[in-house]
Amino acid sequence: MQKSIRSRGERGENTKLPYLQRGRMCKALLFLAFLLCCGTTALFATDWTVLVYMAADNDLSSFAVENIIQMESAVQAENLKLVVQVDLPELGAKRYLIQENQSPGIGSSVLQNLGTIDSGDPMQLQDFIRWGFGRYPSQHKMLIIWSHADSWYKSPKYIAPDQDSGNVIGVANGELASALSAGPKLDILLFDACSMQSIEIVHTLRHYADIIVGSADQVPVQGFPYSEIVPVLAGNPELLAAKLPKLYTDSYLPGSANNPSNYYYTTTCSAVKTDKADDFYQAFKDFSRALRPVAGDLAAIREELFEMNSGYADVDLTQFLTRIHEAGLTDSVPLLAMLEEMILASSYTMPWPETDLSSLALWYPDIRYNLNAAWKTYMKMEFGKTGWLSLVNLALGKDIIPPESPVLSRQYSHFGKLFLQLKAPVDVDSLYYRLESEALSFDIFPKAYAEDFELSFDIAANGSYTIYAIDRAQNISQALTGDYSHDPLKYSLLIYPNPISDLRLAFLKWYGEESKDESVSLKLYNIKGQKLIHYHFEVPSQNPGMLKLDQVPGLSELAQGIYLLELNSGGKKMHKKLTILY
């Protein structure tokens, strides 16, 4: 439009609109304002876009086809776009726009024939999300991930296995979060896959979906009941999500098509809001710390909990917190109140009676073998930094396994100090470290579960050091050792930080051959060599010397740019380039 207006003006034509056109434009602007005032709903032809990522290039392929036929058999809500990407053995992958169809087989329109793909590659999921929500914009967005899964812990990966490639998508290693981050934030994320509804996964994916729906326990091969779910894919996201848990568990009641027996299956499902996940994380961190003095009493509680999944190492989070409250070990009521706000709805069926279940899992291995098998994967998730596994480790009895050694990332010396940058070992405990060097010995306490840390100490001669990692049971790692050399400095100059964004935080440090009271001069030149500042000041007897740069008159008034700083100390001139960004 800009080109059109500009070219007409260049030809000398009148660019003012005739009265009639102006009237039409006013009406158009008023109509647009009306739509904006009425909310965003009217701007979308589609209220809901629901994408279904069916990673069925495995032994679930026949059930994928059945579920698509179920979707077609249902009456769809108005203004719904239901799009499926299904990957099948030998047949490859296709994208369908699901349409109502009562005839045998899949009758929906094929949008794209993708051929052979790797559904275990997170980039395939990412591509589907971008494509689907880009092609079908809507007010509300839902993603269903359909496949095999085993929570966060099947090696470092856990969902969407592809038979041809052998790949799967991981959660603990960040693959799923990376795929979801490429698209818009979801109103609802539903896992039609085993064991995905855990507090660890809810916290990991909290930034990518407002509500997460799934089963804390295993999901039968028939999956979710799409003939019942598709008709309710409309309206308010929270009201919609709250309907799903009971629809799922009811579909496996005795005598149903999925369960022709007279016995109850074990089914669990919940819909969890993620907006309080960060608050819960902080409170659970305090809770884990508060239980340490009574860790020996946890075994009796753990023995009575409903358990599920691989190694029967998951428990129901609400049931666990309720039993802690009943035993009076610590105050878990605030956590229970948060869960009540987070869990929109939950449902379960059991062959035996259970109470206080919310169908949201927590990993709580009751034997050290299960803990040792998966804790390194668990600690890759941010939830591992709550200290929960440190408590579990303590509750399982005496810990005699020392932590691994820290790893040296970088070593350098400056102004008579040795600086060591270290990579911390992964451990269930928050570790501290001990440094020993010649006559020197001290402990370092980095931030809890820090991945990297730095330490420094004065050096006056060549020497060596030894560093140990120490866990909460006082187990000591093997030593990290290193040597250093001392190169006495005669003169050196440092500006930090450089470039300077905030003058209040900037300082000058210099090292001279002698340490005595003296007058020091500072000169500052622009890139043309013009002197802008000449500042004399007295410094006490110290080496190195230091000056806060906000004390230099006129420095705060300089424009952004590159300058040359000259410092004259004891007759020795030192130079440094200085960049100003403020």
pLDDT of 314 above 70: yes
Element at 533 (helix H, strand E): strand 531-539
Number of C-beta neighbours around residue 485 at 10 A? 10
- State whether CATH 2.60.40.10 applies to domain 407-484: yes
Name the 3-class secondary structure at 184.
Answer: coil
CA distance 455 to 480: 14
pLDDT of 68 above 90: yes
Please name the residues in contact with 144: beta carbons below 8 A apart, sequence gap of 6 or more: 50, 51, 52, 53, 190, 191, 192, 224
Task: Give the range with max mean pLDDT: 45-49, 349-353, 430-434, 537-541.
Answer: 430-434
The string of pLDDT tens digits covering residues 486-504 is 877 667 889 999 999 999 9
Q: Give the per-residue pLDDT at 34.
A: 42
- Amino acid at the residue 14: N
pLDDT of 55 above 70: yes
**Range with the poorest average pLDDT among 200-209, 354-363, 446-455, 532-541:** 532-541
Q: Give the per-residue pLDDT at 313.
A: 95
Distances (CA, A) of 306 to 66, 253, 275: 32, 20, 27
Contact yes or no for 313/150 (Cβ under 8 A): no
- Identify the CATH class of 492-580: mainly beta
Mean pLDDT of 166-194: 95
pLDDT of 201 above 50: yes
The string of pLDDT tens digits covering residues 115-170 is 999 999 999 999 999 999 999 999 999 999 999 998 887 654 468 888 889 899 99
The string of pLDDT tens digits covering residues 351-365 is 999 999 999 999 999
Mean pLDDT of 198-223: 97
Mean pLDDT of 195-223: 97
pLDDT of 20 above 50: no
Q: By C-alpha distance, which of 306, 303, 291, 308 is closest to 214?
A: 308
Query: What percentage of the chain has pLDDT greater than the value 90?
Result: 79
Distances (CA, A) of 165 to 85, 120, 160, 168: 18, 8, 11, 9
Q: Give the per-residue pLDDT at 67.
A: 97
The string of pLDDT tens digits covering residues 28-43 is 444 444 444 444 444 4
Q: Give the per-residue pLDDT at 438.
A: 87
Strand order through the sheet with 480-484: 440-444, 432-437, 463-470, 480-484
pLDDT of 380 above 80: yes
Domain ranges of the chain: 45-273, 277-395, 407-484, 492-580
Confidence of residue 517 (pLDDT cuts 50, 70, 90): low
pLDDT of 225 above 90: yes
The string of pLDDT tens digits covering residues 400-444 is 999 999 999 999 987 788 999 999 999 999 999 999 998 899 999
Mean pLDDT of 106-121: 96
Name the 3-class secondary structure at 475.
Answer: coil
Q: Give the per-residue pLDDT at 24.
A: 41
Q: By C-alpha distance, which of 401, 471, 400 is closest to 434?
A: 471
Q: Give the per-residue pLDDT at 95.
A: 98
Q: Give the per-residue pLDDT at 310.
A: 85
- Answer yes or no: same fold for 45-273 and 407-484: no
The string of pLDDT tens digits covering residues 261-270 is 999 999 999 9
pLDDT of 334 above 90: yes
Q: Give the per-residue pLDDT at 413.
A: 87
CA distance 224 to 213: 11
The string of pLDDT tens digits covering residues 454-478 is 999 999 899 999 999 999 999 999 9
pTM over 0.85: no
HSE-CB for 531 with a 13 A CA cutoff: 6
Contact yes or no for 402/475 (Cβ under 8 A): yes
CA distance 208 to 212: 10
Q: Give the per-residue pLDDT at 198.
A: 97
pLDDT of 11 above 50: no
- Mean pLDDT, all residues of the chain: 89
User: Of residues 23 and 194, which shows the higher confidence score?
Assistant: 194
The string of pLDDT tens digits covering residues 95-105 is 999 999 988 89
User: Of residues 13 and 64, which shows the higher confidence score?
Assistant: 64
- Identify the CATH class of 45-273: alpha beta
Q: Give the per-residue pLDDT at 321.
A: 98
The string of pLDDT tens digits covering residues 246-286 is 999 999 999 998 999 999 999 999 999 999 999 999 999 99
CA distance 535 to 523: 6
Q: Cis peptide before 254, with omega less than 30 degrees from 0?
A: no
Mean pLDDT of 209-224: 97
